[in-house]
Chain A
């Protein structure tokens, strides 16, 4: 198990050091600093073995978090824990920065004592932790006996992520379907790989212990329902109309993973997604699709070398969705060789600039409707070099945001049942929103 946990600043100074096991000595703190933080070469692996001690590290801006062990621990668990640790810290005091860590070091020690016992991760849900560990010190002494036992039963309980007795005057929930669409395209326009990784984020402001059921246009469910003759619930749904351009009824989901509140065995047997949600914002599920993806933009590059000191670049982008929809925050990044001396750009729409520090031409367009096309052309002057090494020609990348789900996913329903309190599914105000963003959206040139 985890033998110790250290947090360093970018200089390698220790901000937090908590040792859980006897086999980890003080010299481990220095070993990591010397061999990893101060290492001359770039770190080649997130797991380092120094003198039979293994170090796992993650970096958040300038902060290094390192977990140390001498045993054969579950490596995936250690990294998951380190991420979780970052999340918990962020939930308590915002950005994980040197200043915030220094100002909250007592709190961090307290958290580390609670969520890692003898190197075993314990309940690390912020919802539960916040009931008894706060920045203003510990509530402890003011609690009544009932409160105390409520805390412990929540921390250890089956529904560790939600406390009882939550009340809202207005029961409301927000669903965000956030997708990032990834593409790698050859210069000839052939899709080398494309996938959508999506997340369903829910903000719930619901009273009591509501039982929820979430439905989407999952192909397996729809096909099953179709065969069984069960009435389609799309019609009844008050959440329809996502705004996808495709007329597809259902989508094939390659794989999905769920927040720990979802009953996995029920999903496995019936493919229904049922759960008692945590209070406030959380990620309900993640999914991945690779079939029939709507690629919102197509990039057509044309690079021509004119002699040894000049490049001509022409890039056309085409939007490929309903004309009534608007894409936003469009940015096209065209890499330029390292020996670029000057660039002239002409673009039809938006603004384009050569950024020498980033070795790229950045072309920005605020808004663009569907089924349109735009073009940029640039002349790149090169300094003559005798460097034998060819320019690597990194791919042209794109950023954008569109108001639909490129996977074609649609929320069919989200039903809320709370048997003990007197509100029903109809009383809950529900909102749904679709945002498609570019992930790694690249076209080779």
Chain B
């Protein structure tokens, strides 16, 4: 280890003497030695006063060295750092602009509160300095200061000065001001600091042509945050950004691509310019692949996103993604991924020939991925399936262990996509049974044997051979083996009775794994009670697997497109997944399409307008969707379930002075009844207890009412009572009516209240997509209902995230003719599923909701109050 090397006292002493020498040269050499020690991690903070003493010099080189030392150690010696302030302040007034800039730059790097106070005045002057070099340095200094003390920056009005610098005559000053403002704005998501409007955008676009390559990146990244008002503005910005695509700096190109990809969303697809733009994007993206390998990697990760968002851009460029023998492995793997995304009927022959070539390379990961890619091609391009399968068979013949295993895994997927088509290859697969040592491959092979048991003569022998080491297998293999043997038994019951007995007892009696045990028991019971039903369940027709399983989820993709060129696009994760704190966590979204004609307010997607609904106090049915929307707060804010306001349930005059008001809430999966008990009588109340009558959802107190101290006159106590849903059930009218009895030392009082259905929505109410689709279709018409929610000014995404807080989960979203359709699922505490479709038309505050559940008797009751 190089760091934490201790430095001996003698050395320190020697350096001290040299630092205090009269000779300039000697002094300088000494400071250099100090810096060298600092670099390798030695602690030279003991020399602080001696080094700072060297600061008062007119030798610029010495000064810079001392500054470097100061930046490192000022924080550990704040009191002594003050000694340097005078020199800084003086230097900020120096005649030489280079020295003025140096002083203000360094001062901003010293993160000591006391020094920061002294920084304000010099900084203010430097921001208005006549020399652009000083101004551009001061602009960055504002960002530094903001990082140390945000409040100070605001109080001193530096933000306004910084904003003024956007109109500076010098392009570099503009670029740095933009960079600083963008960073500051990230920590104040709603401040609208940058105040982007057509005028300021125009200024930025002008500066874009004149500033350094780095400045161009800052400006383009800032432009990407702007949402144009209409398609015309969008087009004119695009026109002025496209020349950047020919810049030698790849980062400039990628940032320009980001702006174009984002603003293109707003252009009507039938516009000529739209087509031109699409064509213009391909060549620069391809050129990025001739950059250095590290940049190629960044470019490829981004192209992967672009190809998913707009496949048409690069559909003819397959060849450039062919892997070169000398490419670094990270480039190879990324290219392979993109090749598969671009694979189509037109180019599949070429792609397959390449993939076969790659499967003979040395790098194991790469070879595996290549083999897997062949399988993905088969699934994606149906016409090629046969060729893919024969290629895979060729590869299996090579007998290279990992190639064989990988090939078997993908062949299983091919069987899932094209059942009963390629079973002729099973014989070849079975030959390799012994060489499989990876769980995934073993599981795949077992699945194949079980699925096609009737066509494999010795299926029982094959499966039996696995059974010997059952307990040493991984769970994946064990589960697969269990299912496969049950399938085999159902297909050939006579010869395999013993085998199935054996596997069932292994799974249920000798295993500690609950999944395996449960599955074993299910099969056992099924087989013993109703073999016909067992056959229907176990040998049911399986849904075909979908073409692309590895696509990035659309909302994430949209967000990542807004982050092209950045780390987020390299990791394929939103910034919130790897950035700490509040910075950069704001979710970015693409603007709405130009065909829709959405209003800008909705297009921006931020700062949802709070829609104030008429108070639902007097409405008998509380807790509708409208109320769920009612909570203020923007997108991305943490939100819990909706809680209706408290209402008075039991007035004091009816209960001998006890007043009870309350509400219901769902917190962390537990339903809570929140009560406020007020003693309006003259005497003390004690011995509280509570009980519910039977009700529709079996609500019952999960514990006693916790009123421990006696309630004195005019005292109020807040109690929250956890509820369970396992009590006795009786249908009430209205459905959500709850009759309650409260007892105290005076009497027993009765009242009834109504709870919002939404608190019965459970956390695991997110239905599988497939299941949702199937269920949605199966809902009988009678069970469906439709109604409107009026005056709700949220866009669909905001609505979706808001509803999620109340355990209403969005399963899918699609946009049809300007309407966003959200498909949602809800699960009630008694296990009933409710599916809903929410239509949101941009610009129309009214939502249309259709709901349905599989179980008719509840639907009619649910629809009116629940959504």
Chain A interfacial positions (CB closer than 8 Å to B): 1, 12-17, 19-23, 26, 29-30, 42, 44-47, 49, 52, 54, 56-58, 69-77, 79-83, 105-106, 109-110, 113, 117-118, 120-125, 132, 137-138, 140-141, 143, 145, 148-149, 151-153, 155-158, 160, 184, 192-193, 195, 197, 254-260, 263-265, 267-268, 283, 285-286, 288, 388-390, 392-395, 397, 440, 442, 444
- Could you pull out 6 A-B pairs where Cβ atoms are within 8 angstroms? A13-B40, A72-B575, A109-B68, A123-B212, A149-B131, A264-B244
- B144 and A118 contacting across the interface, CB-CB below 8 Å: yes
Interface residues on B, range: 35 or more
Instruction: Knowing that A46-B294, A76-B254 touch, tell me 5 more A-B residue pairs with CB under 8 angstroms.
Output: A73-B566, A77-B251, A79-B295, A106-B32, A192-B322
Chain B interfacial positions (CB closer than 8 Å to A): 1-3, 32, 35-36, 39-41, 58-61, 64-65, 67-68, 72, 95-99, 101, 105, 108-109, 111, 131-134, 136-137, 140-141, 143-144, 147, 170-173, 176, 179, 183, 209-214, 217-218, 221, 240, 242-244, 246-251, 253-255, 283-284, 286-287, 290, 292-295, 297-299, 319-320, 322, 324-326, 329-330, 350, 354, 357, 360-362, 398-401, 563, 565-571, 575, 578-580, 583-584
- B171 and A158 contacting across the interface, CB-CB below 8 Å: yes
- B290 and A258 contacting across the interface, CB-CB below 8 Å: no
- B251 and A76 contacting across the interface, CB-CB below 8 Å: yes
CA of A293 to CA of B209, assembled, Å: 34
Whether A44 touches B68, Cβ cut-off 8 Å, given contacts A76-B250, A260-B212, A390-B398, is no
- B170 and A264 contacting across the interface, CB-CB below 8 Å: no
- Neighbouring A residues of B298 by C-beta, 8 Å: 47, 75-76, 79
- Neighbouring B residues of A46 by C-beta, 8 Å: 293-294, 297, 330
- B217 and A267 contacting across the interface, CB-CB below 8 Å: no
Whether A148 touches B183, Cβ cut-off 8 Å, given contacts A72-B567, A74-B565, A138-B64, is no
- Neighbouring A residues of B210 by C-beta, 8 Å: 158
Whether A75 touches B569, Cβ cut-off 8 Å, given contacts A13-B2, A52-B578, A120-B214, is yes
**Which of A19, A80, A141, A155 has the most chain B CB atoms inside 10 A of its CB?**
A80
Q: Which of B39, B212, B569 contacts A15 (CB 8 A)?
A: B39
Whether A74 touches B251, Cβ cut-off 8 Å, given contacts A120-B218, A265-B243, A440-B324, is yes
CA of A76 to CA of B221, assembled, Å: 12
CA of A397 to CA of B40, assembled, Å: 44
Q: Which of A13, A44, A82 contacts B330 (CB 8 A)?
A: A44
- Neighbouring B residues of A393 by C-beta, 8 Å: 360
Whether A268 touches B246, Cβ cut-off 8 Å, given contacts A54-B567, A123-B172, A152-B131, is yes
CA of A109 to CA of B65, assembled, Å: 9
- Neighbouring A residues of B319 by C-beta, 8 Å: 192-193
Whether A255 touches B247, Cβ cut-off 8 Å, given contacts A79-B295, A118-B140, is no
CA of A123 to CA of B512, assembled, Å: 65
CA of A74 to CA of B179, assembled, Å: 12
- A193 and B133 contacting across the interface, CB-CB below 8 Å: no
- A105 and B39 contacting across the interface, CB-CB below 8 Å: yes
Number of residue pairs A-B, CB distance < 8 angstroms: 281
Whether A75 touches B570, Cβ cut-off 8 Å, given contacts A121-B214, A265-B243, is yes
- B565 and A118 contacting across the interface, CB-CB below 8 Å: no
Whether A260 touches B176, Cβ cut-off 8 Å, given contacts A105-B36, A140-B96, A192-B319, is no
CA of A342 to CA of B563, assembled, Å: 55
- B286 and A76 contacting across the interface, CB-CB below 8 Å: no
CA of A384 to CA of B292, assembled, Å: 41
CA of A1 to CA of B40, assembled, Å: 24
Output the nearest chain B residue to A285 by Cβ-Cβ distance: B248
- Neighbouring A residues of B97 by C-beta, 8 Å: 148-149, 152
**Which of B172, B354, B399, B401 has the most chain A CB atoms inside 10 A of its CB?**
B172
- A71 and B400 contacting across the interface, CB-CB below 8 Å: no
Q: Which of A148, A157, A255 contacts B96 (CB 8 A)?
A: A148
CA of A370 to CA of B322, assembled, Å: 30
Output the nearest chain B residue to A59 by Cβ-Cβ distance: B294
- Neighbouring B residues of A394 by C-beta, 8 Å: 325
CA of A349 to CA of B659, assembled, Å: 109
- B329 and A268 contacting across the interface, CB-CB below 8 Å: no
- Neighbouring A residues of B108 by C-beta, 8 Å: 118
CA of A202 to CA of B41, assembled, Å: 44
How far apart are B563's CB and chain A's nearest CB, in angstroms?
A: 7
- B133 and A80 contacting across the interface, CB-CB below 8 Å: no
Q: Kindly list the 8 A-B residue pairs having the minimum CB-CB distance in the complex, ordered from nearest.
A: A255-B283, A152-B133, A76-B251, A268-B243, A140-B60, A264-B243, A77-B251, A72-B575
CA of A15 to CA of B39, assembled, Å: 7
- B144 and A143 contacting across the interface, CB-CB below 8 Å: no
- A79 and B217 contacting across the interface, CB-CB below 8 Å: no
**Which of A23, A125, A138, A256 has the most chain B CB atoms inside 10 A of its CB?**
A138
- Neighbouring A residues of B183 by C-beta, 8 Å: 1
- B246 and A74 contacting across the interface, CB-CB below 8 Å: no
CA of A71 to CA of B187, assembled, Å: 12
How far apart are B414's CB and chain A's nearest CB, in angstroms?
A: 24
How far apart are B318's CB and chain A's nearest CB, in angstroms?
A: 9
- A72 and B170 contacting across the interface, CB-CB below 8 Å: no
Output the nearest chain B residue to A43 by Cβ-Cβ distance: B330
How far apart are A70's CB and chain B's nearest CB, in angstroms?
A: 6
- Neighbouring B residues of A80 by C-beta, 8 Å: 213, 249-251, 295
CA of A124 to CA of B246, assembled, Å: 20
CA of A137 to CA of B211, assembled, Å: 28
How far apart are A384's CB and chain B's nearest CB, in angstroms?
A: 17
How far apart are A190's CB and chain B's nearest CB, in angstroms?
A: 10
- A257 and B571 contacting across the interface, CB-CB below 8 Å: no
**Which of B59, B67, B136, B322 has the most chain A CB atoms inside 10 A of its CB?**
B136
- Neighbouring B residues of A15 by C-beta, 8 Å: 39
Output the nearest chain B residue to A56 by Cβ-Cβ distance: B294
CA of A439 to CA of B489, assembled, Å: 62
- Neighbouring A residues of B290 by C-beta, 8 Å: 197, 286, 288
CA of A72 to CA of B400, assembled, Å: 42
**Which of B35, B320, B565, B567 has the most chain A CB atoms inside 10 A of its CB?**
B567
- Neighbouring B residues of A19 by C-beta, 8 Å: 72
- A288 and B566 contacting across the interface, CB-CB below 8 Å: no
How far apart are A115's CB and chain B's nearest CB, in angstroms?
A: 9
Output the nearest chain B residue to A81 by Cβ-Cβ distance: B214
CA of A105 to CA of B131, assembled, Å: 29
- Neighbouring A residues of B247 by C-beta, 8 Å: 257-258, 260, 264
- A141 and B360 contacting across the interface, CB-CB below 8 Å: no
Output the nearest chain A residue to B283 by Cβ-Cβ distance: A255
- Neighbouring A residues of B64 by C-beta, 8 Å: 109-110, 113, 138
- B246 and A52 contacting across the interface, CB-CB below 8 Å: no
CA of A74 to CA of B250, assembled, Å: 11
CA of A346 to CA of B253, assembled, Å: 50
- Neighbouring A residues of B350 by C-beta, 8 Å: 192
CA of A192 to CA of B243, assembled, Å: 31
Whether A74 touches B248, Cβ cut-off 8 Å, given contacts A30-B3, A392-B361, is no
How far apart are A156's CB and chain B's nearest CB, in angstroms?
A: 4
- B68 and A113 contacting across the interface, CB-CB below 8 Å: yes
- Neighbouring B residues of A70 by C-beta, 8 Å: 579-580
- A257 and B253 contacting across the interface, CB-CB below 8 Å: yes
- Neighbouring A residues of B32 by C-beta, 8 Å: 106
How far apart are A184's CB and chain B's nearest CB, in angstroms?
A: 7
How far apart are B19's CB and chain A's nearest CB, in angstroms?
A: 16
- B248 and A45 contacting across the interface, CB-CB below 8 Å: no
- A390 and B221 contacting across the interface, CB-CB below 8 Å: no
- B41 and A29 contacting across the interface, CB-CB below 8 Å: yes
Q: Which of B217, B322, B567 contacts A47 (CB 8 A)?
A: B567
Output the nearest chain B residue to A262 by Cβ-Cβ distance: B246
- A30 and B398 contacting across the interface, CB-CB below 8 Å: no
- B59 and A141 contacting across the interface, CB-CB below 8 Å: yes
- Neighbouring B residues of A83 by C-beta, 8 Å: 292
- Neighbouring A residues of B566 by C-beta, 8 Å: 72-75
Whether A45 touches B330, Cβ cut-off 8 Å, given contacts A120-B218, A141-B59, is yes
How far apart are A397's CB and chain B's nearest CB, in angstroms?
A: 8
CA of A121 to CA of B132, assembled, Å: 16
How far apart are B37's CB and chain A's nearest CB, in angstroms?
A: 12
